[in-house]
Amino acid sequence: MGVSLSGLRMAAFFLIRRGDIMANPDTFDAMFSGAVSYIRSRSFGEDATASKKLADVLCQSLDKSRNAIEVEYTRINSDTKRDFMEFKEVIRLDRHKCTAAFMIAFLKRLELDPDIIKKLSRSLPVSNLIKEKLVMDIGLVVMATMIKADTCEKNAKIIDFLSRNDDFFKLPEVESDHKPYARNWAMELHFANKKNKLFVLSLSHELFCIEKINRLLADPAA
């Protein structure tokens, strides 16, 4: 991706070294700062002025939505432990559930002005699924960074594979649909969010499967 992701890497450091036993404010701050850095570092199209304007709009929207996103993440974190995990007083969310909780919180509480996005889309190839695609990118980079922060022997090949692919996962090839996997996934997130059917276990399972596919690509003999 070629972007500065120091905030996302710091979030992963907190999660791996200390564990997300509670919805830790330091973890959220690092994640949020990383999301802002990611948006400001990426290009949204050839028109540099319009691209910067879009980044400014997205970052302003993030800033306005920050408190709501943090509250939502904290709620999802607590509900996941209470409803689906044993030893709730000491257990931490695994990387798939933690990433899913962040992604859902951003999807549900990040407010974007559709009129501004539509106006900017006249000079940029901006999809109406821009929020979903941003959340997907941020979530996958966070998950990749968490793997790279956990330098155990079983992660050696996937870490090398991710390093050779800009710390980003390869998504599955689509066999019976002309639309790429990323668009199909973004559409799923969009309509699940619209109908209030986002579910941390379902999204964490999708993230687990994406990681598993990339582990197989990294080590076909495994």
pLDDT tens readout for residues 109-159: 999 888 888 887 788 887 788 999 999 988 888 888 788 878 889 999 999
pLDDT greater at residue 141 or residue 73:
73
3-state helix, strand, coil in the chain (%, to 5): 70, 0, 30
Q: What is the mean pLDDT of residues 50-65?
A: 90
Examine the pLDDT at 22 and tell me if it is beyond 80.
Answer: no
Supply the DSSP symbol for 43.
Answer: -
Least confident of 95-104, 107-116, 169-178: 169-178
Examine the pLDDT at 3 and tell me if it is beyond 50.
Answer: no
Backbone angles phi, psi at 174, to 5 degrees: -95, 130
Domain ranges, ordered by start, for the chain: 6-218
Residue 90: predicted pLDDT: 53
Residue 82: predicted pLDDT: 84
Q: Which of 165, 134, 149 has its CA nearest to residue 38?
A: 134
User: 144 with 200: CB under 8 angstroms?
Assistant: no
Classify residue 221 by burial, with Cβ atoms within 10 Å: 0-12, 13-18, 19+.
exposed
Supply the DSSP symbol for 45.
Answer: S
